[in-house]
Structure 1
Amino acid sequence: MRDLFRSRRYLAFWLGQVTSTVGNQLTVVVLAALVVPDRGPGTFGLVLAVESAVMGVLLLAGGVVADRYSRSFVMALADILRLAGIVGFFFFASQGPLALLLAAAAMTGAGAALYEPAHRAALTQVVPEDLRQQAYALDVSTKRIGSMAGALLAGVMLAGISPPKTLLVDVATFVVSLVTLVWLRLPPVRAAAGAVAGSRADEPGADEPGGLRGMLAEAREGLVEVRRRPWVSVLMLQGTVQVFFLFAPNYILVPLVSQARYGISAFGWVSAATLAGSVIGSLLGGRVSSGRPGLWAMNALAPCVLTPVCLAVDVPFWMFCAAGAAGSAGVGCFMVLWYSSLQKEFPEQVQGRVFALEGLASFGLQPIALAVTPLLVRFVGVAPFAALAAVVLLLSTYGALAVPGTAQFATRTRTADKSPESVESIVRS
């Protein structure tokens, strides 16, 4: 970590994005305080649904844009869109036309769709290859801490000042992020590749048409790159499955069960344990050095089965908290190894689209999973659903290891049309 923070470019990138994370979580809390009292919880849910839907629809397009243009510029544009959405919340969250409030939500969703792929892919331009695993570890852990800090800050500020004034703090965080991104000025990855390898007609996207046709062609190129690596496709599918049997149940069932069994304050302690586990797991993931990082990652996911077990069986409160911490630590470790392996596996010119596809596969169906989970629980009961979730988690986790490349998180035989940098890294390995 000391080596990372010696880099002024990385330090600026990290500080700007951590500040933005704090502001994003603060807005989630403040938005509820603005919308619910005057418009009701149904409108608040609609706002979140519009934001999530727009992000899901535009996420792959965001990956195309991140690979086509400067990633720091794309992130800055995303910040401007989200800033416009925050201003819309400021004026229309409590009063005014509902359409304008939903338009503000759509702006923040579009900004997130641009930001996420560009942010993941930009790390490869900011950090040298030997430090990228540690950079992803720090990114994952500090996002967790930043989100918690934003929620706590919102709670403290809402106790003393009005929600609209609290929302202005998020505006200030976007200004900090924009300043750091303008200072970074990352070159477009194709221009950077051309400067190293020389302009070549056979480079991916070199002769792509412009406009919508060109964007669709580049999106297909990203899909082809993923499909040529079955282990990546399988793990993205695994993420989709586990959204329904891990993330959605955690969002819905853990708060309900913990409060029903252990009291109204129990979920706060469970959340704190989960946060601590995530931070520890992601930092440990940055220290894993193995030729089989995929095996480490799958073993790290295995403790996630403990939370469904604790949902199905009445256990002591400390055990419920420990299960949440262990599972969250495993997810944090997995994410670090997964993201850093994707960065090594794919040419830099397509990483924006790859990270967009990963996000779409892992969380694109999350709104549906959140809606379906309560219905399934009402139909079959908490204990049977939790038992089914535990079985599916174990099967999907260790079943993926049967696909060649999963244990190594790498394709042993790469195709010949990779970028020169990727070919050189394969030869070195």
Structure 2
Amino acid sequence: MTKPGVRALIRDRRYRMFWLGQATSTLGNQVTVVVLPALVVPTRGAGMFGLLLAVESAVMGVLLLLGGVVADRYSRSLLMAVADVFRIIGVGGFLLFASHGPVAPLLIAAALTGAGAALYEPAHRAALAQVVSEELRPQANAFDASTKRVGGLIGALLAGVLLSGVSPPRTLLIDLATFAISLVTLIWLRLPRIRLTADVPEQGLRAVFTEARTGLVEVRRRPWVAAVMLQGTAQVFFLFGPNYVLVPMVSQQRYGIEAFGWVSAATFVGSVVGSVLGAKITSPRPGLWAMNALAPCLMTPVCLALDVPLWGFCAAVATSSVGVGCFMVLWYSSLQNEFPNHVQGRVFALEALASFGLQPIGLAAAPLLVELMGFTPFAVLAVIVLLTSTYAVLAVPGAVQLAAPKGEDNVGQGAALTANT
């Protein structure tokens, strides 16, 4: 039997609308990423810009689990629409207060964008599994990853072009317009909430913690999922988080200020290629493919330590991005297939916390560690952590298949669902 392909995905009207909203939102977000420092730094200084990023990241981290609980209680498209409203208000606050005026509204704007992201991310991952059938999820996840990379690249280029001839506040209006488009698509989509047959949600803060704990229990019942999540924690802290700081720093110091543009382009291209490759893998052992895809990521810290030519540096980051893109498609598809739909919001919230909870610390610590240890010892440490954490998880039952071992009953998989999907 032939596996459904991309054409089947594109013919799905609901997926097209879902994709359109996500694509426009991604483009607009990247415009804000480029424009915000141009608004804040000249008048308020780099310290204020860093504080805004810290507030946004902190609020997102604190509210992620709540976002997962809410995504499993209510319509995920409605929750994504609410998240867009939060971010519209936040971007509006940047527009009004980024350059001048009181600081408090500016910090509130950053908190609102962080809260919007915390609500949006778990709902988005879980909603994708609700929109498309199981056999189309690898293609949908590949499209999702590629859209984020391509949309981010187009948004950055668009912002750069507009900033050369248009004022930063007017350029920021593009983000507001993209959120409006996203809102329209989500309101049209109107996904029903996923619920158990006899499910009547409790109310109050205690109920939120109870439901969050239920998501944690679901993950603990699948040790291979917990193992891969812990793997992500280690790798983000020692490798991917530091790379986020060190790659632009080294590329500019070693090759010139314009070099990071080439490095960024190589990263985007590699991610798209990796996502496409991940969607094409049909092996009964996708976990082995996913871990082998991550292994070449060691090339980036090696090239940070060695004085390679620019083309070699670009090749290294592109290869790493291919591996990450491939891994993400296989990983997200496995989670969407493994867990009952009514707990996926909480599962993806836990996945985001595990993968990126330590990233801010890694970002802050990387330059200090490099200064203390030197690039070569730090690169050796990163390579050891990468290879050890990548292949150690394969010893956990289920990790090779990215699925529960045969004969084990997934709790909740057989529960009756009432959803007009």
**2:129 equivalent to 1:124:** yes
The answer on 1:292 being equivalent to 2:285 is yes
Q: Name the structure 1 match of 2:31.
A: 26
Partner Cα separation in structure 2 for residue 421 and residue 6 of structure 1: 30
Q: CA deviation at 1:422?
A: 9.4
Whether 2:331 is the aligned partner of 1:338: answer: yes
2:263 to 258, 270, 276: 270
CA-CA distance at 1:316 after TM superposition: 2.5
What is the aligned counterpart of 2:215 among 210, 222, 227?
222
- The change in CA–CA distance for 1:422 and 1:407 in structure 2 (over 3 A counts) is farther
Stretch of structure 1 that moved more, 207-216 or 120-129: 207-216
- Gap change, CA 1:416 and 1:168, over 3 Å in 2: closer
Unaligned runs of 5+ in 2: 1-5
1:401 Cα offset (Å): 0.8
Structure 1 CA distance, aligned partners of 2:210 and 2:123?
19
Q: Which runs of 5+ in 1 are unaligned?
A: 201-205, 424-429
Q: Find the partner of 1:328 among 297, 313, 321.
A: 321
Distance 1:327 1:422 in 2: 42
Mapped pair 1:318 → 2:311:
yes
Q: Distance in 2 between matches of 1:254 and 1:409?
A: 31
Equivalent pairs counted in the alignment come to 411
Q: Which position in structure 2 is the counterpart of 1:307?
A: 300
Task: Give 1:417 shift.
Answer: 3.8
2:412 is aligned with what amino acid? K
**Following the alignment from structure 1 to structure 2, what is the Cα–Cα distance between the partners of residues 371 and 249?**
8
Report the Cα offset of residue 315 of structure 1.
1.9
Task: State whether residues 347 and 422 of structure 1, in contact with CA within 8 Å, keep that contact through their aligned partners in structure 2.
Answer: no
Deviation at residue 335 of structure 1 after TM alignment: 0.3
Write the deviation string for residues 364-419 of structure 1: whole angstroms up to 9, x where unpaired: 11111101111111111111101111111111111111111111101124336423
Aligned twin of 1:243: 236
SS of residue paired to 1:161: coil
Tell me which moved more, 170-179 or 317-326. 317-326
SS in 1 for 2:280: coil
Contact 2:18-2:186 within 8 A present in 1 as well: yes
Cα deviation, residue 207, structure 1: 5.2
Amino acid at match of 1:162: S
Equivalent in the alignment of 1:146: 151
Q: In structure 2, how many angstroms separate the alpha carbons of the residues matched to 1:419 and 1:344? A: 10
**Cα separation, 2, equivalents of 1:53 and 1:152:** 28
Give the corresponding residue for 2:3.
Answer: none
The Cα RMSD (Å) is 1.4
- The alignment's TM-score, normalised by the length of structure 2, stands at 0.95
- Say if 1:208 and 1:217, in contact at 8 Å, map to a contact too: no
Cα pair distance change 1:375/1:416, threshold 3 Å? closer
Does 1:162 pair with 2:167?
Answer: yes
**In 1, Cα distance between equivalents of 2:296 and 2:44:** 41
Measure the CA separation in 2 of the matches of 1:388 and 1:394. 10
Kept in 1: contact 2:301–2:379 (CA 8 A): yes
Amino acid paired to 1:420: G
* 1:5-84 matched pairs, under 5 angstroms: 5-84=10-89
SS at match of 2:412: coil
Match of 1:93 in 2: 98
Taking the aligned partners of 1:127 and 1:414, their CA distance within structure 2 comes to 26
Question: Take 1:164 and 1:152, find their aligned partners in 2: how far apart are those partners?
Answer: 17
Match of 2:108 in 1: 103
Contact (CA 8 Å) 2:35, 2:168: kept in 1 or not? yes
Task: Mark the CA change 1:381 to 1:291 in structure 2 (over 3 Å): closer, same or farther.
Answer: same
1:126 deviation in Å?
0.9
The one-letter amino acid of 2:92's match is V
Identity of aligned residues (%): 69
SS at structure 2 position matched to 1:269: helix
- Which residue among 374, 378, 395 is the counterpart of 1:385? 378
Match for 2:129: what amino acid? T
Task: State the alpha-carbon separation in 2 of the partners of residues 162 and 264 from structure 1.
Answer: 23
Aligned mates of 1:228, 1:119 — CA distance in 2: 24
d(CA) in 2 for partners of 1:142, 1:176? 16
What is the distance in 2 between the residues matched to 1:290 and 1:421? Answer: 28
Q: Tell me the secondary structure at the aligned position of residue 81 of structure 2.
A: helix
Q: Deviations over 1:280-301 (max 9, x none)?
A: 0011101100111000000000
CA distance in 2: counterparts of 1:220 and 1:414, whole angstroms: 22
Q: Deviations over 1:114-148 (max 9, x none)?
A: 00000000011111111011100100011011011
Counterpart-to-counterpart distance in 1, 2:309 and 2:166 = 39
Moved more, 219-228 or 260-269: 260-269
Distance 1:36 1:356 in 2: 32
Residues 71 and 346, structure 2, Cα contact 8 Å, conserved in 1: yes
> Aligned equivalents of 1:135 and 1:345: distance in 2?
16
Segment of structure 1 superposing worse, 411-420 or 312-321: 411-420
In 1, Cα distance between equivalents of 2:408 and 2:109? 44
2:106 is aligned with what amino acid?
Answer: L
- Where does residue 412 of structure 2 map in the other structure? 418
